[in-house]
Amino acid sequence: MYSRTVTITDPAGLHARSASEFVRSANRFSSMITIGKASEEKRVSAKSIVMVMSVGAGNGSKIELSAEGADEREAVDFLAQLLATGPGEATGAA
C-alpha cells in the first residue's frame, strides 16, 4: 500500500468537472485506489464519481490518497499531482 496527503488548491475545490477528470484518471490504473479527507477515517473508491463527490473536498482540504496494487505508486503520485495542480495540469502518463 502506498499513500500520500495532498492539499486541494483549486479555488472551487473538487467540483463536478475536476472530480470527473480525477475519476477518469483513477480508472486508468489497475490498483485499488481510495480517497478521503485526511482529518477523517472515511475512505471511498476513487473510481466512483458519486463516492468522490461525497468526500466534499473544498479548497484547502487535505486529502489522503491510497492505492494497493501493481501500479500503486504511479497511481497515487499522478492523482496527487492532479489534485494539487487542478484539472488539465498534471503531467505524466496515466
Per-residue pLDDT tens for 9-68? 888 899 999 999 999 999 999 999 999 999 999 999 999 999 999 999 999 999 999 999
CB 51 within 8 A of CB 45: yes
> In the structure, what pLDDT confidence band is assigned to residue 88 with cuts at 50, 70 and 90?
low
- The partner residues of 65 in beta bridges, in order of sequence, read 4, 35
pLDDT at 72 over 70: yes
- Verify whether residue 22 is a known catalytic residue: no
CB 71 within 8 A of CB 57: no
C-alpha cell at 18: 475536476
Query: Which residue ranges form the domains of the chain, and what is each CATH number?
Result: 2-85 (3.30.1340.10)
* Of 29, 25, 27, 1, the residue nearest 83 (C-alpha): 25
pLDDT at 91 over 70: no
What count of residues does the chain have?
Answer: 94
List the catalytic residue out of 2, 7, 15, 77: 15
Question: Model-level pTM?
Answer: 0.88
